[in-house]
Structure 1
């Protein structure tokens, strides 16, 4: 178990976190801009933010974090599939759950309506879930090392 923990939280994990911070600034910034200034709903706002942020994430994680050498469409398709599954899981859990909790308990802040607060809060919770699902998916599916590749960075 100790070896698994060391492998899971190696330098790739920390590079992923660094890339994630940059990607979060871009993707979440766009989401909140679309939701609050453009008036788009949380599904469309988060989806467009994730698509644009994922383009940045693909290149940074492929070449910087995981140093993946695969060429062609296969790594792009695997990455896109991973993003789609992680997005669907994260926001499929966060949006209905947070909406239900906020509505049932009349939670709100900043003078927002319950719906506006729930939309903003659900995007934050969805982003947290997405990060966890996405790291696992990128590390062990999209950019998985082939047997014999060195784990040393």
Structure 2
């Protein structure tokens, strides 16, 4: 599948996961009084589980063996993305005095490019068969 189609699917799933992340963040941070970073981490991992399942099956169209190793790679990419998200969230709130709700949206946007690239080129990398293998 062409990268442009994968990117559209990834973005659609990403929007859904971002909504999951953000709604859980708001619920935990504002309604339940969780610490900002804790609320963000819990929200992020909730979206991450959904993201793995949908991206594996729909975006990168994989099934069968490799689930465990793919999930480990996926988790690693997402931990890096989460680190970038938290770094930007904290920086925007602490240094620029931007509201956490707005900072979270900005941090999500920054982490998205790292997440797509890591998953496309490492986690869900297709091994194309050679001509003689078809």
Do these two structures clear the TM 0.5 threshold for a shared fold by scoring above it? Answer: yes
Query: Following the alignment from structure 2 to structure 1, what is the Cα–Cα distance between the partners of residues 124 and 24?
Result: 26
Residue 70 of structure 2 corresponds to: 75
Structure 1 residues not aligned, in runs of 5+: 1-6, 108-116
Query: Following the alignment from structure 1 to structure 2, what is the Cα–Cα distance between the partners of residues 136 and 58?
Result: 14
8 Å contact from structure 1 (residues 16, 61) kept in 2: yes
Q: Which runs of 4+ in 1 moved over 6 A?
A: none
CA deviation after TM superposition for structure 1 residue 148, in Å: 2.9
Please, which of 70, 84, 91 is the counterpart of residue 96 of structure 1? 91
C-alpha RMSD of the superposition: 1.8
Query: Following the alignment from structure 1 to structure 2, what is the Cα–Cα distance between the partners of residues 146 and 95?
Result: 39
Query: Following the alignment from structure 2 to structure 1, what is the Cα–Cα distance between the partners of residues 89 and 114?
Result: 13
**Structure with greater Cα Rg:** 1
TM-score, normalised by the number of residues in structure 1: 0.76
Larger fraction in helix: 2
CA deviation after TM superposition for structure 1 residue 122, in Å: 2.2
**Length, aligned pairs only:** 128
Please, which of 72, 82, 87 is the counterpart of residue 82 of structure 2? 87
Structure 2 residues not aligned, in runs of 5+: none
